[in-house]
A and B are shown apart, each in its own frame.
Chain A
Amino acid sequence: MAQGNKDDPLNLTLTEESILNTILFRERYGLEIMKAIAEASKGRKNIGFSSLYPNLRKLEQRGFVTSRWGDETPEENTGARRRYYQITGSGMAAVNQKQEYINALQHLIPAIGEP
């Protein structure tokens, strides 16, 4: 049984799923991912820094996301660099599997009135 298996795509949390969907068609950096999620949900879902980056680490460890350093100049006060995140093939497969599961679930529920 896949229950409790962290690598099972069906075990993706809402935050992880949101992050993967945000970078489905193009790479984004952390702050951009946060803003995209807030904008898409019209402010109803907000991910904080403390939730985003650890989740990005986990997704990278699971092989669903890959990252690269940006070419911009480092931040002037700290010298920190920007990092862009991109979805991998496994990540895309995980998102598709989750979507298929939800579609199957919707069609399995009987309509009201039917035996």
Chain B
Amino acid sequence: MRRTSRRRKNRLLRKMFRSCLFLLKAGFKTAKIVLKEFIDYLFFIEIILNGILLATASLLWYFLVASGISQNVASAISQNIVFIAIIIVPILFSLFIFARHTFSKKKQKLTRGKTSGEIKLAQWMTQTIANQNSTEWEEYQDWLHDIMLSRQQLLDVKCPRWQVSLITYKRLGVFWVVVGISKVKQVATSICDRIES
């Protein structure tokens, strides 16, 4: 009984130690990211915001005292604003930076080495049209080239990924329909010619 309880205790202590170590590492990692990003423009926005809040606190104190409110109450209100400026705003900014950093890392992981659906569709269309030795590939490949070029240009100007995919899918769909109609017309014409002859 004593042995099992001692083992349980040791296991629990080890778990607690590992959790503390994990929290410490996460804390250091967050601090590193925050410090890195803090040098960015968000640092200046935060300084400006804190400055505005502190100035507001001071002005509010004078305004409250002048309008007849007791100095203690005015001080309490101003102190609360200062508390928000010094404690809460940096925490919010840090969370925002951390969330942004995590999200961009996740996004990198997902898109690394993954061919997007619209590219696969374009490749499939190319194989289908070109393999049939049809005139449509010679006639319309520049259209497909420009669709893919336009897609790349939209990505270069940081257009939202989902929007680029949607636009490209729509364009590829229209391309496929037009090429299909052209092919059907060609086949229909050749059948008519054969019938006439």
Interface size on B, residues (CB 8 A): 22
Q: Which residue of B lies closest to A31 (CB)?
A: B146
Total chain A interface residues with beta-carbon distance under 8 A: 18
List of A residues within 8 angstroms of B146 by Cβ: 29-31, 49, 82
Is A4 on the interface with B (CB-CB < 8 A)? no
Does any Cβ of B come within 8 Å of A78's Cβ? yes
Q: Are B174 and A53 in contact (CB under 8 A)?
A: no
Give, as a whole number of angstroms, the nearest-CB distance from A74 to chain B. 8
In this assembly, does B139 line the interface, its C-beta being within 8 Å of a C-beta of chain A? yes
- CB of B148 within 8 A of CB of A75, answer yes
User: Is residue B96 within 8 Å, beta carbon to beta carbon, of the partner chain?
Assistant: no
Q: Judge if B150 is at the interface, Cβ distance under 8 Å.
A: yes
Max chain B Cβ within 10 angstroms of own Cβ: one of A29, A49, A78: A78
Say yes or no: A53-B145 contact (C-beta < 8 A), given A77-B119, A77-B123, A80-B126: no
Q: In the complex, what distance in Å separates the CA atom of A31 from the CA atom of B142?
A: 9
Query: Across the interface, which residues of A come within 8 angstroms of B178, CB to CB?
Result: 50, 53-54
Query: Chain B's nearest CB lies how many Å from the CB of A25?
Result: 21
Residues of chain A having any CB pair with chain B under 8 Å: 29-31, 48-50, 53-54, 57, 74-75, 77-83
Interfacial residues, chain B to chain A (CB-CB below 8 A) = 119, 122-123, 125-126, 130, 139-150, 171, 174-175, 178
Q: Could you list 11 further interchain pairs (A-B, Cβ under 8 angstroms) beyond the known A78-B123, A81-B142? A: A30-B142, A48-B174, A49-B146, A49-B171, A50-B174, A54-B178, A78-B125, A78-B126, A78-B144, A80-B148, A82-B146
30 pairs of residues in contact across A and B, judged by CB atoms under 8 Å? A29-B142, A30-B142, A30-B143, A30-B146, A31-B146, A49-B146, A49-B175, A50-B175, A54-B178, A57-B139, A74-B145, A75-B145, A75-B148, A77-B119, A77-B122, A77-B123, A77-B148, A78-B123, A78-B144, A78-B145, A78-B148, A80-B141, A80-B142, A80-B144, A80-B145, A81-B142, A81-B145, A82-B142, A82-B149, A83-B142
